[in-house]
């Protein structure tokens, strides 16, 4: 029975959507100040996504090359009437409405806490839970969400960490930072990790492709030794 290495900690649903899915959604943002994404889930299933940017058919700040709020010297959380972009929460809710998908009772994941305008849309859409990373300088939006009974959960990447699960729960987690680099001593092997067929045998911490590559080179060496032909590797 092979002793496989322990898996890395498995992220929870909140960590999966907030730290892994949401950054990919935010890459589509056209805002010059910050890239913000939003993901709405119902029953741990993604039903809508959105990012902050100008409405469809309107030139964004990225295309214009300037931001109206920067020109006026306005701080974050102010001057919403001068911003050309729609916030990610609004775009996400509008996308679900346009597709005819119900998001009532769902959870929305955002980079920053919603502003007062997005808070109103979230309350009227029937979303019951908000998971976010950073605060937003809008106390009125916070008060509306609290008064409406919306659950607010703030998570930081430094504090969040998945837990080992299944039969790997009691085993130490092996990462690349703690694995000592040990090149293969088999001169016919092209893998960079230690192989179970090599002379200096180490714990089998290398990935399966590296093991297969070393196993193939070991077979090739045996064929060459039996045939006496070190050039072609074919048996006589």
pLDDT tens digits, 122-147: 999 999 999 999 998 889 999 999 99
Report pTM: 0.64
Place of tokens 């102010």: 78
**Catalytic residue among 15, 63, 89, 147, which?**
89
Instruction: Please provide the DSSP assignment of 107-131 as one string.
Output: EEEEEE---HHHHHHHHHHT--EEE
Q: DSSP assignment, residue 83?
A: -
Interatomic CA distance for residues 7 and 168, integer angstroms: 7
d(CA 149, CA 162): 28
**89 in catalytic set:** yes
Task: Classify strands 107-112 and 129-134 as parallel, antiparallel or unpaired.
Answer: parallel
pLDDT class for 221, splitting at 50, 70, 90? low
Task: Report pLDDT digits (tens) over 177-219.
Answer: 333 344 444 444 444 444 444 444 444 444 444 545 555 566 6
Strand 37-41 and strand 46-51: pairing?
antiparallel
Query: What is the Cα–Cα distance from 210 to 191, expressed in whole angstroms?
Result: 5
Q: Is the model's pLDDT at 95 over the cut of 90?
A: yes
- Average pLDDT of the residues of the chain: 76
């Amino acid at each position: 029975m092979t002793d496989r290495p322990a898996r890395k900690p498995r992220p929870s649903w909140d960590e999966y959507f907030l730290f892994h899915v949401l950054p990919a959604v935010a890459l589509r943002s056209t805002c010059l100040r910050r890239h913000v994404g939003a993901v709405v889930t119902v029953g741990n299933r993604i039903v809508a996504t959105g990012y902050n940017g100008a409405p469809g058919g309107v030139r964004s700040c990225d295309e214009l090359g300037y931001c109206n709020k920067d020109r006026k010297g306005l701080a974050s959380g102010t001057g919403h009437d001068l911003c050309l972009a729609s916030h990610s929460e609004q775009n996400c809710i509008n996308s679900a409405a346009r597709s005819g998908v119900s998001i009532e009772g769902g959870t929305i994941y955002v980079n920053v806490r919603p502003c007062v305008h997005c808070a109103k849309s979230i309350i009227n859409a029937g979303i019951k839970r908000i998971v976010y990373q950073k605060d937003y300088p809008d106390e009125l939006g916070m008060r509306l969400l609290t008064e409406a009974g919306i659950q607010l959960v703030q998570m930081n990447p430094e504090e969040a960490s998945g837990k080992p699960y299944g039969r790997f729960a009691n085993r130490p987690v092996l990462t690349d930072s703690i694995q000592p680099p040990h090149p293969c001593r088999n001169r016919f092997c092209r893998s960079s990790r230690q192989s179970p067929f090599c002379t200096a045998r180490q714990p089998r911490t290398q990935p399966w492709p590296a093991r297969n590559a070393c196993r193939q080179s070991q077979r090739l060496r045996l064929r060459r030794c039996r045939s006496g032909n070190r050039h072609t590797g074919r048996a006589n």
